[in-house]
């Protein structure tokens, strides 16, 4: 028995894009075109499709995955991750190259594939299970376990159309979690469901990996990749950028995704919007002692310092610093203008502007967005998701802490509590 | 669990762009038989859950057609029925016809209706149109009981020819599957199929001997006529069930050849196009 579970050589998948003129999706359209230009159509038969209409979603992909390894596949949207999964799970055929899969492969590109709303939970367990490649006796054997894992015992004979979306996902994942192929290919199915259930699923997956099964896991969730995977592979533009240990691949991914380089430096070519009269070159976060940091203790004031490179003199501008969650939800915004302070001017050269911020952010990861613009509204430079920092759940002197797992909202306002006093309703 | 995996030899799957036509992997189809049954069971049970009359529809449709044909063809036009009461004569043809047309209609839509499965999970694609053969078979069995009742009512007693009935049913299955594979695969790219199939079915009921006996077709035209595989199926059904006239072997032979060609070309076309289903659908 070979130790290699998956072996891929020079794999490539080409898709046709655009080329609307050449494609006819109905007989009538095809017929009309054929009648209108019989000679053109005849000439085209057997000729290759023009290169500009073809696009390689994936090319020259070669890698091997040993038995028992858990490979995290990361990359931006459109990097080719989904195409790779589709090829490995044999949903679509490669255009070139070759792959060998040693062992029974199960793929989970979606939870609840084939669920039918009219069928009951019980019926859907069987249907979905066979769709995912389980045999009937296998499902019967694990049935009680699946039901217990999903926690929907009382609704087992209710049509799933009456389920809440949470219950639906739990049931669907429960079936999927009990797949027992030697090789498991998983897409970002963990992106659904509530946090508690996600943890349960992650636990179940590491259990699967612990049993010596080979797993290929595609995710945007770097924490999950770090937790679960023994190796990682970073894809970009249909090619492998890095393949190796998880840590370095995750770092490479974050570098690709973030405009921020080392020491908070922001490259000139980073994704930005604006006139370009001024460019944001660096964002740093310092604590109230002046130390550069990427963590903020609970309740501790902090400073955000921006460094601008001014190309042309600009007048009547304002600066805005925003704090957002990783999902892009704006939590807080500060601007350096108000009634008392009008816009300011900047001469060519490098200038630093610091904002002292005093807000108690609840424990979570945050990113800093920066905008500099004319008072008229014209944006000079706008860079999103620059520096990432985390708000911790403990104060520096440990007198104050916030319990993890109960984070609701984003900020903790100052609050003064009175009572309890005994009262009567009369 | 791990032990179980070690006991069985590790299957190796090699995937390469296919240049030549791969043969149908019957072994793989057999391995997926549970899925076939569950998909068929899904289609049947959903229909029964969603319709108020459920099983009654399997009977109502052929009976209504029988009634109309009896009034207009049997009574008003005086179409001959080979010595059997016209209602039984036409119902014996309507059952295989109904099976064929329902199966074809469902098969043609099958891939499109299951596009979410095609784009998310691997299984032999053939399974999907093949599944369409089963729910309509349930209807057929229900309607068959009614036909037996009609035969009893009209005092038509079956002969020993009836042992041939499964063979004619098999011919209907081959025909429906052959045509179904063609349309199912074409439908992935050209949704026009959805409109073409009902027209073909409507047309087909009159180029098949449903409302009239084949003997009405002029002799020189009969070989051409029998290239419609349903001609052999229907003539076979009548002969096997109602004991009409002489065995229709010439029709059946020609129809069988046509049906087998239809199935082989259908399989060929399906296998050739199936690798792009997930990309196109």
Size of interface A-B (CB pairs under 8 A): 114
Phi-psi region of A196 (alpha: psi -120 to 50; beta: other; left: phi over 0): alpha
| Burial of B199 from C-beta contacts in 10 A (0-12 / 13-18 / 19+) | exposed
pLDDT score for A204: 73
d(CA B207, CA A61): 55
Residue linked to tokens 């016809």: B97
Q: What 3 state SS string does B35-66 have?
A: HHHHHHHHHHHHHHHHCCCCCHHHHHHHHHHH
Would an 8 Å CB–CB cutoff place B276 in contact with chain A?
yes
Average pLDDT over residues A403-412: 74
Interface of A with B in 197-216 (CB under 8 A): 211-212
Q: pTM here?
A: 0.72
Task: Name which of A102, A116, A132 is nearest B42 (Cβ-Cβ).
Answer: A116
The continuous run of DSSP H or E covering A349 comes out as: strand A349-357
Average pLDDT over residues A200-215: 74
pLDDT per position as a tens digit, A88-124 = 999 998 999 999 999 888 888 877 888 999 999 999 9
Q: Which residue of B has its CA nearest to A125?
A: B38
Q: Which residue of B has its CA nearest to A3?
A: B10
Chain B environment of A14 (Cβ under 8 Å): none
The ipTM estimated for the assembled molecules is 0.86
- Cβ of B15 and A93 within 8 Å? yes
> Residue B230 pairs with which residues in a beta bridge?
none
Task: Name which of B17, B38, B190 is nearest A93 (Cβ-Cβ).
Answer: B17
For residue B25, give Cα distances in angstroms to B12, B81, B124, B261, B267. 15, 45, 8, 19, 12
pLDDT per position as a tens digit, B41-65 = 999 998 888 887 878 888 999 999 9
- Cβ of B46 and A116 within 8 Å? yes
> Residue B124 pairs with which residues in a beta bridge?
none
Would an 8 Å CB–CB cutoff place A25 in contact with chain B?
yes
pLDDT per position as a tens digit, A40-61 = 545 555 556 666 678 899 999 9
Q: Quick check: A92 and B15 in contact, CB under 8 A? A: no
d(CA B276, CA A35): 27
Would an 8 Å CB–CB cutoff place B38 in contact with chain A?
yes
> Residue A273 pairs with which residues in a beta bridge?
A382
Angle between the N-to-C axes of helices B165-189 and B229-242, in degrees from 0 to 180, rounded to the nearest 10? 150
pLDDT per position as a tens digit, B194-243 = 999 999 999 999 999 999 999 899 989 999 999 999 999 999 999 999 88
For residue B244, give Cα distances in angstroms to A70, A309, B74, B95. 69, 98, 17, 17
Q: How many CA atoms lie within 13 A of B44 on its CB side?
A: 18
- Cβ of A135 and B34 within 8 Å? yes
Which residue spans of chain A are classified as CATH 3.40.50.300?
Answer: 62-255
Give alpha helix (H) positions in A7-77.
Answer: 27-36, 38-44
Q: Quick check: B105 and B201 in contact, CB under 8 A? A: yes
Would an 8 Å CB–CB cutoff place A105 in contact with chain B?
yes
Q: How many CA atoms lie within 13 A of A366 on its CB side?
A: 26
Diameter over CA atoms, chain A: 97
Of the residues B10, B44, B276, the best mutation for testing chain A's interface (the one with the most A CB atoms within 10 Å of its CB) is: B10
Task: Name which of B18, B121, B190 is nearest A93 (Cβ-Cβ).
Answer: B18
Interface of A with B in 211-240 (CB under 8 A): 211-212
pLDDT score for A155: 92
Give the best-scoring range by mean pLDDT among A85-94, A168-177, A183-192, A268-277: A85-94
Chain B environment of A208 (Cβ under 8 Å): none
> Residue A381 pairs with which residues in a beta bridge?
A372
Q: Kindly give, in sequence order, each residue whose CB lies less than 8 Å from that of residue A27, ignoring residues fewer than 6 positions away.
A: B190, B192
Chain A environment of B17 (Cβ under 8 Å): 93-97
Chain A environment of B190 (Cβ under 8 Å): 25-27, 30
- Cβ of A133 and B50 within 8 Å? no
The continuous run of DSSP H or E covering B14 comes out as: strand B12-15
B131: its two tokens: 């599944």
- Cβ of B14 and A103 within 8 Å? no
Interface of A with B in 322-341 (CB under 8 A): none
Would an 8 Å CB–CB cutoff place A138 in contact with chain B?
no
How many Cβ atoms sit within 10 Å of the Cβ of residue A323?
A: 21
Task: Name which of A28, A91, A94 is nearest B278 (Cβ-Cβ).
Answer: A91
Would an 8 Å CB–CB cutoff place A415 in contact with chain B?
no
Q: To the nearest whole angstrom, how far is the Cα of B281 from the nearest Cα of chain A?
A: 11
Would an 8 Å CB–CB cutoff place B42 in contact with chain A?
yes
Task: Name which of B18, B49, B120 is nearest A91 (Cβ-Cβ).
Answer: B120
Helix (DSSP H) and strand (DSSP E) numbers for chain A: 9, 19
Tell me the fold of A62-255: Rossmann fold (3.40.50)
In this structure, whether the domain defined by A262-391 belongs to CATH 2.70.50.60 is answered with yes
Percent of chain A past pLDDT 90, that is, above it, reads: 31
Chain B environment of A89 (Cβ under 8 Å): 121-122
Would an 8 Å CB–CB cutoff place B117 in contact with chain A?
yes
pLDDT per position as a tens digit, A345-395 = 899 999 999 999 999 998 888 989 999 998 888 889 988 888 888 888 777
For residue A304, give Cα distances in angstroms to A183, A264, A334, A364. 47, 11, 11, 17
Average pLDDT over residues A10-19: 79
Q: Is-cis flag, bond preceding A167, omega within 30?
A: no
Dump the DSSP string for B229-267.
HHHHHHHHHHHHHH--SS--HHHHHHHHHHHHHHHHHHH
pLDDT score for B138: 93
Residue linked to tokens 């063809």: B73
Q: Quick check: B62 and B98 in contact, CB under 8 A? A: yes
Q: Which residue of A has its CA nearest to B39?
A: A127
Q: Assess whether pLDDT exceeds 60 at residue A191.
A: no
- Cβ of B5 and A133 within 8 Å? no
Exposure b/e, A326-350, CB count within 10 A at least 16 = b: eeeeebeeeebeeeeeebbebeeee
d(CA A93, CA A108): 18
Q: To the nearest whole angstrom, how far is the Cα of B197 from the nearest Cα of chain A?
A: 14
Strands (E), A196-347: 214-218, 231-236, 239-244, 278-287, 295-296, 302-310, 314-325, 330-335, 344-346
Which residue spans of chain A are classified as CATH 2.70.50.60?
Answer: 262-391
| Burial of A40 from C-beta contacts in 10 A (0-12 / 13-18 / 19+) | exposed
């Amino acid at each position: 028995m070979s130790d290699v579970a998956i072996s891929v050589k020079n794999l490539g998948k080409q898709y046709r894009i655009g080329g609307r003129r050449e494609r006819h999706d109905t007989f009538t359209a095809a017929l009309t075109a054929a009648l209108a230009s019989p000679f053109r159509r005849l000439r085209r038969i057997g000729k290759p499709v023009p290169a500009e209409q073809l696009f390689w979603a994936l090319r020259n992909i070669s890698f091997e995955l040993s038995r028992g390894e858990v490979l995290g596949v990361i990359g931006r949207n459109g990097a080719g991750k989904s195409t790779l999964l589709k090829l490995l799970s044999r949903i679509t055929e490669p255009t070139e190259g070759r792959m060998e899969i040693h062992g029974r492969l199960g793929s989970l590109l979606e939870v609840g594939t084939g669920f039918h709303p009219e069928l009951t939970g019980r019926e859907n367990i069987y249907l979905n299970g066979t769709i995912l490649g389980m045999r009937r006796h296998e499902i019967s054997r694990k049935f009680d376990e699946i039901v217990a894992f999903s926690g929907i015992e009382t609704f087992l004979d209710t049509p799933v159309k009456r389920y809440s979306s949470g219950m639906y996902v739990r049931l669907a994942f429960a079936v999927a979690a009990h797949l027992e192929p030697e090789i498991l290919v998983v897409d970002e199915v963990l992106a659904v469901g509530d946090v508690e259930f996600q943890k349960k699923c992650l636990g179940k997956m590491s259990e699967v990996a612990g049993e010596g099964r080979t797993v290929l896991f595609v995710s945007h969730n770097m924490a999950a990749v770090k937790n679960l995977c023994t190796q990682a592979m970073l894809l970009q533009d249909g090619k492998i950028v890095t393949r190796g240990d998880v840590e370095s691949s995750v770092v490479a991914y974050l570098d690709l995704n973030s405009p921020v380089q080392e020491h908070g430096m922001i490259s000139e070519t980073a994704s930005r919007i604006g006139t370009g009269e001024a460019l944001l070159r660096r964002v740093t976060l310092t604590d109230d002692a002046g130390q550069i940091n990427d963590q903020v203790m609970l309740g501790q004031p902090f400073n955000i310092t921006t460094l601008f490179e001014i190309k042309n003199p600009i007048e009547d501008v304002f600066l805005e610093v925003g704090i957002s969650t990783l999902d892009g939800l704006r939590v807080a915004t500060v601007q350096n203008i108000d009634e008392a302070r009008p816009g300011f001017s900047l001469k060519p050269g490098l200038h630093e502007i610091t904002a002292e911020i005093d807000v108690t952010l609840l424990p979570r990861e945050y990113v800093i967005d920066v905008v500099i613009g004319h008072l008229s509204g014209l944006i000079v430079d706008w860079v999103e998701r620059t520096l990432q920092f985390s708000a911790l759940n403990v104060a520096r002197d440990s007198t104050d802490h916030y319990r993890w797992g109960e984070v609701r909202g984003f900020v903790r306002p100052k609050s003064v509590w009175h009572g309890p006093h005994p009262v009567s309703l009369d | 669990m791990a032990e179980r995996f070690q006991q069985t030899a590790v299957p190796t799957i090699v995937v390469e762009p296919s240049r030549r036509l791969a043969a149908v992997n019957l072994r793989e189809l057999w391995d997926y038989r549970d899925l076939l049954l569950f998909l068929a069971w899904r289609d049947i049970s959903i229909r029964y859950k969603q319709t108020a009359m459920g099983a009654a529809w399997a009977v109502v449709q052929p009976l209504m057609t029988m009634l109309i044909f009896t009034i207009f063809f049997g009574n008003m036009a005086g179409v001959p029925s080979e010595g059997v009461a016209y209602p039984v004569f036409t119902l014996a043809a309507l059952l295989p016809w109904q099976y064929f047309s329902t199966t074809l209609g469902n098969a043609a839509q099958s891939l499109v209706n299951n596009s979410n499965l095609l784009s998310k999970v691997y299984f032999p694609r053939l399974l999907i149109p093949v599944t369409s053969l089963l729910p309509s078979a349930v209807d057929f069995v229900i309607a068959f009981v009614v036909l037996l009742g009609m035969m009893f009512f009209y005092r038509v007693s079956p002969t020993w020819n009836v042992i041939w009935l499964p063979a004619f049913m098999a011919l209907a299955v081959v025909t429906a599957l052959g045509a179904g594979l063609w349309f199912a695969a074409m439908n992935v790219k050209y949704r026009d199929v959805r409109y073409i199939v009902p027209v073909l079915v409507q047309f087909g009921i009159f180029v098949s001997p449903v409302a009239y006996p084949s003997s009405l077709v002029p002799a020189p035209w009969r070989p051409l006529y029998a290239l419609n595989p349903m001609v052999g199926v229907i003539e076979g059904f009548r002969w096997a069930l109602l004991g009409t006239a002489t065995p229709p072997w010439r029709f059946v032979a020609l129809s069988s050849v046509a049906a087998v060609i239809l199935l082989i070309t259908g399989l060929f076309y399906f296998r050739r196009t199936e690798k792009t289903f997930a990309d196109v659908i």
